[in-house]
Amino acid sequence: MKKKIDIYFIAKEAGVSIATISRFFNNSLVVGEVTREKILNVCNKYNYKPSKIASALSTKRTKSIALLIPSIKNPAFNSLVDGVGTIVSKRGYSLTLFNTKESIEKELEILDIINNRSIDGAIVSGVYGREEDRLFISEVEKRKIPCILVDRYIPDTDIPYVASNDYLGGKIAARFILENNHKNIGIISYETRVHIFKERVRGFTDVLKKEGIKEKYVIEVPRQIGKIEENLIKNRKALLEALLNDQVTIIFNAADFIAIELIKFLSENKIRVTEDVSVMGYDNILFSNFTVPRLSTIDHTMFEMGYTAADNLINKLEKNRFKDRIVIMDPKLVIRNSVRKI
């Protein structure tokens, strides 16, 4: 019968305890040089590499992290996943991606899956980033799952988070638009019950108020991909009247994906983007550089947020402390050619 080569076999062959084998595979420097050499020789002899499952049995850790995002269809989250994945891979962890489908109930279902799979910690981009998410957070705390929030977070909570200063981003967008002499301004946003969109619009309108300018209209569209165009068509009359009668010269969109749908909508209605009406976005998703015209936008630093959040969580898992409990990143203006000076 073929021998089963596992950590128990290696321990027996090397003449050491399971605890010593565990210490060796997790940090060989804490094992004495002679013992280390003995274990290495046995491993090489049988071409043995420890599995994550075996490691988890001896250390109670799987070296796996969960990432919860509100939508896999929304391209804004691609950079977040990339940022998390980059540092997770670099630090020798595996990543499990969960799609909450913008549902609080789904968040709670995923929590049970995380428990059953013995995942070490979770990075969570909440559904709303406000009161509704508190139930999820209370469950995380109850189950003692190491957790950090990213992008969509809950203010005034004890859970550490990494976020972008969306209020500042809204202000940066408004100042750029005013510098280009626009005074008749429209706004289209996702539902402002989502904290980050509320903050973007608040920052934007605060700058307008300070300059004595009142936005011509604010339209809220659904966050579901495919529903944005439907909503623009539904508001077609109001939009076109605003452009013609109110002489709106620019529309600020609180997300790039709305801006991209808007450019398509305007083109189909024979309205020239830039020449007839300028369009400004927010997020700096990959597609924003490929629209015609290329979209001026605000970089939401999603990659950096993901990278920082994952690095912070791993520090908690390995050293039992977060480097920083709160990290706020400043967004940046990205100027392309969808906004003209008038």
For residue 162, give every residue at least 6 positions away whose Cβ sits within 8 Å of its Cβ, in sequence order, or none.
148, 149, 150, 151, 153, 305, 308, 309, 312, 327, 329
The CATH number given to whatever domain includes residue 128 is 3.40.50.2300
Tell me: do 91 and 205 sit in the same domain: no
158 is a domain residue: yes
Tell me: do 170 and 290 sit in the same domain: yes
Q: Which pLDDT value is given to residue 183?
A: 94
**Assigned token pair, 234:** 């539904």
For residue 75, give every residue at least 6 positions away whose Cβ sits within 8 Å of its Cβ, in sequence order, or none.
256, 257, 285, 286, 287
The CATH number given to whatever domain includes residue 48 is 1.10.260.40
Domain limits for position 239: 166-299
For the CA atoms of 57, 58, 60, 63, what is the dihedral angle to 10 degrees? -80
Q: Is 179 helix (H, G, I), strand (E, B) or coil?
A: helix
341 is a domain residue: no
Tell me: do 120 and 223 sit in the same domain: no
* Locus of tokens 């290696």: 10
29 is a domain residue: yes
Tell me: do 134 and 193 sit in the same domain: no
Alpha-carbon gap, residue 98 to 123, rounded angstroms: 10
Tell me: do 39 and 117 sit in the same domain: no
Q: Which pLDDT value is given to residue 87?
A: 94
For the whole model, what pTM was predicted? 0.79
Give the helix ranges, DSSP H, for the chain: 7-14, 18-26, 33-45, 52-59, 78-90, 104-116, 134-142, 166-179, 195-210, 227-234, 236-244, 256-268, 302-319
Tell me: do 70 and 17 sit in the same domain: no
Could you state, in chain order, the average pLDDT of each consecutive group of 10 residues for the chain (342 residues)? 74 84 63 81 81 51 85 87 94 89 83 77 83 77 88 82 97 98 93 89 97 88 66 73 81 93 89 94 94 96 96 94 93 97 93
For the chain, what's the residue count? Answer: 342
Side-chain half-sphere CA neighbours of 256 within 13 A: 23
Tell me: do 79 and 135 sit in the same domain: yes
Alpha-carbon gap, residue 137 to 124, rounded angstroms: 10
Q: Which pLDDT value is given to residue 57?
A: 46
134 is a domain residue: yes
Tell me: do 142 and 179 sit in the same domain: no
Tell me: do 191 and 294 sit in the same domain: yes
| DSSP secondary structure letters along 214-279 | --SEEEEE-SSTTHHHHHHHHTHHHHHHHHHTS---EEEESSHHHHHHHHHHHHHTT--BTTTBEE
Tell me: do 181 and 255 sit in the same domain: yes
Tell me: do 201 and 279 sit in the same domain: yes
Number of domains in the chain: 3
104 is a domain residue: yes
Tell me: do 312 and 222 sit in the same domain: no
